[in-house]
Amino acid sequence: MATVNESGKPIAATMAYAIDDKMVFYLETSNKARKYKNLLVNPRAAIVVGIANNLPTVQIDGKVTVLKGEDAINARNFIVGQHPEWEGYYLGPDKNPEEVYFTVKSTRVCYSDFTKEPMVVEVVKN
Protein backbone atom coordinates (compact mmCIF):
# COMPACT_ATOMS: atom_id res chain seq x y z
CA MET A 1 0.00 0.00 0.00
CA ALA A 2 1.25 3.48 -0.83
CA THR A 3 0.39 6.76 0.88
CA VAL A 4 1.68 10.32 0.59
CA ASN A 5 2.70 12.66 3.40
CA GLU A 6 1.83 16.35 3.73
CA SER A 7 4.83 17.41 1.64
CA GLY A 8 4.04 14.95 -1.16
CA LYS A 9 6.63 12.29 -0.27
CA PRO A 10 5.30 8.80 -1.04
CA ILE A 11 5.85 5.77 1.17
CA ALA A 12 4.88 2.17 0.55
CA ALA A 13 4.50 -0.80 2.87
CA THR A 14 3.60 -4.45 2.50
CA MET A 15 0.28 -4.97 4.26
CA ALA A 16 -1.92 -7.87 5.22
CA TYR A 17 -5.55 -7.32 4.29
CA ALA A 18 -9.00 -8.79 3.96
CA ILE A 19 -11.34 -7.83 1.13
CA ASP A 20 -15.10 -7.97 0.85
CA ASP A 21 -17.25 -8.69 -2.19
CA LYS A 22 -17.53 -4.95 -2.98
CA MET A 23 -13.74 -4.62 -3.39
CA VAL A 24 -13.35 -2.82 -0.05
CA PHE A 25 -10.03 -3.59 1.62
CA TYR A 26 -9.83 -3.90 5.43
CA LEU A 27 -6.43 -3.20 6.96
CA GLU A 28 -4.75 -2.55 10.30
CA THR A 29 -1.73 -0.51 11.31
CA SER A 30 -0.21 1.14 14.36
CA ASN A 31 -1.14 4.67 15.32
CA LYS A 32 2.62 5.32 15.36
CA ALA A 33 3.15 4.23 11.72
CA ARG A 34 4.02 6.73 9.00
CA LYS A 35 1.18 5.46 6.82
CA TYR A 36 -1.37 6.21 9.54
CA LYS A 37 -0.05 9.75 9.96
CA ASN A 38 -0.15 10.17 6.17
CA LEU A 39 -3.74 8.95 6.00
CA LEU A 40 -4.82 11.55 8.55
CA VAL A 41 -3.50 14.27 6.20
CA ASN A 42 -4.44 12.68 2.86
CA PRO A 43 -7.08 9.92 2.98
CA ARG A 44 -6.10 8.41 -0.38
CA ALA A 45 -4.07 5.26 -0.97
CA ALA A 46 -2.93 2.95 -3.74
CA ILE A 47 -2.72 -0.82 -3.37
CA VAL A 48 -1.06 -3.38 -5.63
CA VAL A 49 -1.93 -7.04 -5.20
CA GLY A 50 0.38 -9.52 -6.85
CA ILE A 51 2.14 -12.70 -5.88
CA ALA A 52 4.96 -13.52 -8.28
CA ASN A 53 6.29 -12.82 -11.74
CA ASN A 54 3.99 -13.52 -14.66
CA LEU A 55 0.84 -13.82 -12.57
CA PRO A 56 -2.13 -11.46 -12.74
CA THR A 57 -2.01 -8.30 -10.65
CA VAL A 58 -4.57 -5.76 -9.56
CA GLN A 59 -3.84 -2.10 -8.91
CA ILE A 60 -6.33 -0.15 -6.82
CA ASP A 61 -6.64 3.55 -6.10
CA GLY A 62 -8.99 4.32 -3.27
CA LYS A 63 -10.43 6.46 -0.54
CA VAL A 64 -9.47 5.62 3.02
CA THR A 65 -11.79 5.68 6.00
CA VAL A 66 -10.20 5.36 9.44
CA LEU A 67 -12.59 3.36 11.60
CA LYS A 68 -13.41 4.11 15.21
CA GLY A 69 -15.28 2.34 18.01
CA GLU A 70 -17.60 -0.46 16.99
CA ASP A 71 -16.68 -0.05 13.30
CA ALA A 72 -13.02 -0.75 14.13
CA ILE A 73 -13.95 -3.80 16.21
CA ASN A 74 -16.14 -5.07 13.35
CA ALA A 75 -13.25 -4.56 10.91
CA ARG A 76 -10.95 -6.56 13.18
CA ASN A 77 -13.51 -9.35 13.36
CA PHE A 78 -13.97 -9.30 9.58
CA ILE A 79 -10.20 -9.62 9.03
CA VAL A 80 -9.84 -12.44 11.55
CA GLY A 81 -12.93 -14.12 10.08
CA GLN A 82 -11.20 -14.31 6.72
CA HIS A 83 -7.79 -15.10 8.24
CA PRO A 84 -8.28 -17.00 11.54
CA GLU A 85 -4.53 -17.60 11.73
CA TRP A 86 -4.17 -13.87 12.54
CA GLU A 87 -6.33 -14.12 15.68
CA GLY A 88 -3.40 -13.66 18.08
CA TYR A 89 -1.90 -10.79 16.09
CA TYR A 90 -4.99 -8.62 15.70
CA LEU A 91 -6.16 -8.01 19.26
CA GLY A 92 -8.60 -5.21 18.45
CA PRO A 93 -8.55 -1.54 19.42
CA ASP A 94 -10.45 -2.32 22.62
CA LYS A 95 -7.49 -4.47 23.79
CA ASN A 96 -4.62 -2.66 22.05
CA PRO A 97 -5.21 1.10 21.67
CA GLU A 98 -2.28 1.39 19.22
CA GLU A 99 -4.18 -0.67 16.63
CA VAL A 100 -5.90 1.38 13.94
CA TYR A 101 -8.31 -0.20 11.49
CA PHE A 102 -9.26 1.35 8.19
CA THR A 103 -10.87 0.57 4.87
CA VAL A 104 -9.83 1.44 1.35
CA LYS A 105 -12.79 1.72 -0.98
CA SER A 106 -11.69 1.42 -4.60
CA THR A 107 -12.18 4.39 -6.91
CA ARG A 108 -10.12 2.87 -9.75
CA VAL A 109 -9.21 -0.77 -10.42
CA CYS A 110 -6.81 -2.00 -13.10
CA TYR A 111 -6.29 -5.69 -13.83
CA SER A 112 -3.13 -6.92 -15.58
CA ASP A 113 -2.30 -10.41 -16.82
CA PHE A 114 1.08 -10.75 -18.48
CA THR A 115 0.67 -14.51 -19.04
CA LYS A 116 -1.73 -13.84 -21.93
CA GLU A 117 -0.63 -13.20 -25.48
CA PRO A 118 -1.19 -10.38 -26.08
CA MET A 119 -0.94 -9.25 -22.47
CA VAL A 120 -4.11 -7.99 -20.83
CA VAL A 121 -4.26 -4.62 -19.10
CA GLU A 122 -7.83 -3.60 -18.36
CA VAL A 123 -9.27 -0.77 -16.29
CA VAL A 124 -12.19 -2.48 -14.59
CA LYS A 125 -13.40 0.54 -12.65
CA ASN A 126 -12.50 4.15 -13.38
CA distance 110 to 59: 5
How confident is the prediction along the chain (126 residues), in pLDDT tens digits per residue? 999 998 999 999 999 999 999 889 999 999 999 999 999 999 999 999 987 666 788 899 999 999 999 999 999 999 999 999 999 889 888 899 999 999 999 999 998 887 778 877 778 776
> What is the extent of the structural domain holding 39?
2-125
C-beta separation of 27 from 15 below 8 A: yes
Check: pTM over 0.85? Answer yes or no: yes
Omega of the bond prior to 118 within 30 degrees of 0, cis? yes
Number of domains observed in the structure of the chain:
1
Q: What is the CATH number of the domain that holds 77?
A: 2.30.110.10
